[in-house]
Amino acid sequence: MQYYKRGSHTIHDCTYHLVWITKYRYLVLVGNIALRLRALIREICEKEEVEIIRGNIGRDHVHLYISAPPYIMISRLVQFMKGKSPRKLQQEFRELKHKYWGKHLWAIGYFVRTTGNVTDRQVKEYIENQGKDDHFGDFQVQS
């Protein structure tokens, strides 16, 4: 399903697959902890105008398939989600403080991949065939 969103000066469809894991791969994202984490992620995404297309919270990891406006830096979005959620979760669920004596619930790093229906080959062909009659259409520098 492909759909485009509109901004004040853009039409866009920027989708991403995100994955990050708990520190030490501990199986702590269960029950009320997982439900609260889902609510926190939803709050952050809503505030940042990011749509969650699909999501899954496993016992030791988070998978998100999101649609974000082009001005959102994915690294910043993940930083918010991984940075704000541990503090709130550890305040509300004492059992997490026994597993994670610091403030770090998540392992370092994350996985991100852009998604879409257009292949690299299709983009190259599109660019090559644009404006064949146009003097500047091929984006080359003449010596």
Known catalytic residues?
126
Backbone φ, ψ for residue 64 (5° rounding): -135, 140
Are the C-beta atoms of residues 92 and 73 closer than 8 Å to each other?
A: no
Are the C-beta atoms of residues 99 and 67 closer than 8 Å to each other?
A: no
Closest CA to 93 of 25, 28, 22, 24: 28
Which SS3 state, helix, strand or coil, does residue 22 take?
strand
Cβ atoms within 10 Å of 86's Cβ, excluding its own: 20
Encoded tokens for 14: 């920027």
Distance CA 134, CA 109 (A): 45
